[in-house]
Amino acid sequence: MALTATVYNLDTELADIDRSVYESLAVRMARQPSETAEYMLARYLAYCLEYTEGITFTEGVAAGGEEPAVMVRDLTGQVTGWIEVGMPAADRVHRGMKKAGRVAVYTHRAVGQVLAQLNGQGVHRAGEIPVYEFGAGFIEEVAATIDRRAKVSVSVTERQLYLDVDGRTFTTSINEHHFS
């Protein structure tokens, strides 16, 4: 018998002071059986930190690797943002940059490994692609506490992330790296 996805309902208050984005979001996302809690949380945070009109979760790992974790489309349906999570392959990042013109990577992995995997791989406009890293242990700590239904407050100021999950507070810096 095949396992099914687990649906998470995260009532989110987003205050991204750095980008002047303030929204109340009813985020509903599916965690695939092959997806770790850490990957799912990084995908959720990437969605919040990139939030703009037209943003959506894709089928991601369930789509067999053809789509990024999060995608942004304009009103015409044109892909304008390609957001990867974890440790994406260079060809995916390259394809995203060619298709969308804007790519970002959010990783819950060791950023040195991610950069080493991407460096020198001929990725289109590689120097323009930010790779965002959360502080050590942050994703694991939060992932261990998040329930299928939660009230979450996401605040960002000066690249500091403040997260409140059902009354538990977490904080970390968001460090930006680049590869070539």
Closest CA to 95 of 121, 61, 57: 121
Does position 52 have pLDDT exceeding 90, yes or no? yes
pLDDT for 53-96, tens place per residue? 999 999 866 555 688 999 999 999 999 999 999 999 999 999 99
DSSP annotation string for 165-178: ETTEEEEEEEEEEE
Q: What is the pLDDT of residue 166?
A: 97
The proportion of the chain whose per-residue pLDDT surpasses 90, expressed as a percent, equals 89
> For the chain, how many residues are written?
180
Q: How many alpha carbons fall within 13 Å on the CB side of residue 67?
A: 14
Strand blocks (E) in 20-114: 21-31, 55-57, 70-73, 79-85, 103-107
Mean pLDDT of the chain: 94
**129 confidence band (pLDDT: 50, 70, 90):** very high
Q: Which residue has the tokens 């070539």?
A: 180
CATH architecture, domain 6-178? Roll (3.10)
Residue 18: CB atoms within 10 A of its CB come to 13
Query: What is the per-residue pLDDT across 5-16, written as a single tens digit (0 to 9) for each?
Result: 999 999 999 999
**pLDDT average, residue stretch 20-45:** 96
The domain segmentation of the chain, as residue ranges, is: 6-178
Say what the pLDDT of residue 63 is: 56
